[in-house]
Amino acid sequence: MVLFPSLAAWAATGPTWTSTWLVALWAVCYCVQFTASRWCKSRFRRRYLTPMLTYALILAAAGVPFLVLHPAILWWAPIYAVLCGVSLLASWMRRERSLWSNLAAVLASSAMAVVVAPFGSRCPAPSATDRLTWPVAPALFPGVGVEIAVSFALALFGSVLFVKTMIRERGRRGYLHASWTYHAVLVAVGFLCDVLYGVLALALFARAVALPLVARRRPVPVKAVGITESVMSLLMLVLIPLGA
């Protein structure tokens, strides 16, 4: 799922060798981050160091040539350094399931849509008609990339709230009410922007309401929650690029 925002931008803006290369690099970045998080959580045990270094070497070998050819992408380095730092801190504190850690992960994966979009073959030039754009360096922040990133960030954060109501925060009314309110607002905003966004938000809202209500009467297996989220994520991957 961490790849879905970048894959959505890759598809929406027209795949190229460069954008494909970048998406592959992002996949390796995730492997580095995941293994580094386990290393931090273990208090730097040696057994977790080897996988991290292996992925880091692969990333360096495949990524340095990309940086040489496209140095402007280093603009994103400070942002991702902060997000990575938050993730590693959460692992060190053994709070990688906390809301703030989840938010950092959502922002990191969603922002990749903006990073990937400029390398697409059909990435449109900045326009005054763009629903979402960025006034600074618009070539690095194409409207379609920003729109996909924001859409995924909003949808994925809703998923974070929903999963918490089903597992770690199950039975806590505060989280349940926050999830329902958030998804209701998402439906309204979605239909205001595009009917496809509205349909997606409505599907997310339905599962955010239905499954916790079902769980009050009988246990809902974690596997069922995971399958539901996989289906919802695939729906995001299809509808968000079409809406953008």
117's tokens: 């979009």
Token pair recorded at residue 196? 């496809």
| 3-state DSSP assignment of residue 124 | coil
Report the chain's terminal Cα–Cα distance, integer Å: 19
The radius of gyration of the chain's CA atoms, rounded to the nearest angstrom, is 19
Question: What CA–CA distance (Å, rounded) separates 160 from 97?
Answer: 10
Q: pTM to 2 decimals?
A: 0.89
Tokens found for residue 156: 């994925």
Would you state the pLDDT for residue 203?
Answer: 96
Amino acid identity, position 72:
A
Q: What is the dihedral of CA 19, 20, 23, 25, to 10 degrees?
A: -100
pLDDT (0 to 100) of residue 131:
55
**d(C-alpha 204, C-alpha 127), whole Å:** 31
Q: What is the pLDDT along the chain (244 residues), one digit of tens a residue?
A: 889 999 999 999 999 999 999 999 999 999 999 999 999 998 888 888 999 999 999 999 999 999 999 998 998 999 999 999 999 999 998 888 888 999 999 999 999 999 999 998 877 655 544 555 555 555 677 788 899 999 999 999 999 999 999 888 887 888 899 999 999 999 999 999 999 999 999 999 999 999 999 888 888 888 999 999 999 999 999 999 988 7
pLDDT at 134: 54
User: What residues contact 12, with CB distance under 8 A and at least 6 apart?
Assistant: 117, 120, 144, 148, 241, 244
pLDDT of residue 1: 81
Q: In terms of DSSP H, where are the helices of the chain?
A: 4-12, 17-41, 49-69, 77-92, 99-116, 143-166, 173-193, 195-217, 222-243
